[in-house]
Structure 1
Amino acid sequence: MAGILDSVNQRTQLVGQNRLELLLFKLNGRQRFGINVFKVKEVLQCPKLTALPQRNPVIKGVANIRGQTISVIDISKAMGGRPIEQVDNSFVIISEYNRSVQGFLVNSVERIINVNWESILPPPKGAGRSNYMTAVTEIDGELVEILDVEKILDEINPVNSTVKKELMDEVSELTRVTQKPILISDDSSVARRQIQKTIESLGFEVIVTENGRQALNKLKELAELGPIQDQLSMVISDVEMPEMDGYTLTAEIRNNAALKNLHVILHTSLSGVFNKALIEKVGANDFIAKFHPDELASAVKSAL
């Protein structure tokens, strides 16, 4: 455990190589879950929690951690499972998603593993829409579920996806001239819905893909119909996605003669730790942290 606690903040060098490191943990039972280490700020023994009146029932309480008050979420209960009862023997994963810091209460933390995004696969088709997975992978002969944290957080505190009217009007003026669709790629069903609602409110049609591999295949398919600039306005892509991440997707676009002039916006929940040099290296035009509809709309306006 000490090794995990000491190394969590030093494991960012694999981003941009279509690789990631997963922190494995368990809730109630034998099933293992994973979270990208790049989003983890710290792992610690569960501190003393203070219960708040009228709090969301999946929030176990709040804790003061290094001078910051942080909500601690029982993710087992948030996903419809049994709550974690033995808080004193549990751990909290402090993470940053979508510009906010929160703690996830887990029963145990195991180890960090290094995997290739190509071995991270979309959830099985039979999993249904109510599942909380963005992806799965196999470790030691067992299936590891990678959680859709954005979905969990949105159910606790829904995100507003409405664009400010003045900005919407400004972009709509440009949309009358540029009617070409925007391709979006994101592995989170909640994030796709948020982005799609925002982009459609600006007057654009949207082509939706669920990972970088799907997006690249769709782009190549569109390019066969004619110049890609005649088919699309731009690409808005998440960074973390199964099979092919957003950095690799961007690099593939820049290395393809038929696609290289596409405007690419990387739109990710890696809000606190993104690497500007890496964004420039792979050739993305812009980077914005999830999720603020006005900032997304402004990025679209700038691209147009």
Structure 2
Amino acid sequence: MTHIRKAVFPVAGMGTRFLPATKSIPKEMLTLVDRPLIQYAVDEAREAGIEEFIFVSAAGKGALEDYFDTAAALETRLQAAGKVDALAALEPTRMPEGALTILRQAQPLGLGHAVRQAKRLIGNEPFAVILPDDVIKGERGALAQMVDAHRNIGGHMVATMDVPLAETNMYGVLDVKEEVGALAYARGLVEKPRPDLAPSTKAVIGRYILDSAIMDRLDALSPGAGGELQLTDAINADVKSVGVTGYMFEGQRFDCGSVQGYVQATASFALSRADLRDAYAAFVDQRPRPLRLVA
């Protein structure tokens, strides 16, 4: 199978759930401990062998491009001051020349529309899609796990996890034909089904490996749920011709597009850091408990 070299990062969202912070800061630049969300996504892509990074962005998101640019003045000052550790911390923010492309999504017409913006750059290769809002913590990145599995089966592959039945209306959900180990072979997908109509509890999470045929599907796609071009609908249309497989990744997923998920991720990542764990845990344990009033 063809090596997965390219990844699309849809980063055009406004991040309204994080206002007022996102009035001037792209939500992808919100920091999880000491790295922005976009860095976690890029690091995961690099681990999976991605060589070309395509950001589908929007007006007001210039900080994303600046973040991965060279900061010559800053690096010069750090070198002069002998701050070796600080210089090393900047290393993951560097991109090889020509590796990063920024595209503009002029209108927020859905995830499918965002992915379609990259059609010319994708060509005839399979490619990955990573949603930076979904942070997946594990010993090995979820996308690297998927790339290994995709080598053997091809087609469209989506990351999936089990969710409570009551929450199926928040996700695309797989209609599972057969499960073999970590693979869930699908006969279809349903976008945000009511719990009583959900075909399973296997929710689609923000990691995809897609055959380039998806671009033609997106070109022909009509607006779906919410009046937007839904990537799930385009994948679903390819079930018979291309094939769709869910991959049940190993790791813990945090929905960092929500304040609650972002706070939970911050706590989990802080507790995983040897230099932060003890002090953070002690601080949380000392928090005053609310008084209970007895009638």
Q: Which is richer in strand?
A: 1
- More contact order relative to length (CA 8 Å, sep ≥ 6): 2
Smaller-chain TM-score range?
under 0.3
With normalisation by structure 1, the TM-score equals 0.22
With normalisation by structure 2, the TM-score equals 0.22
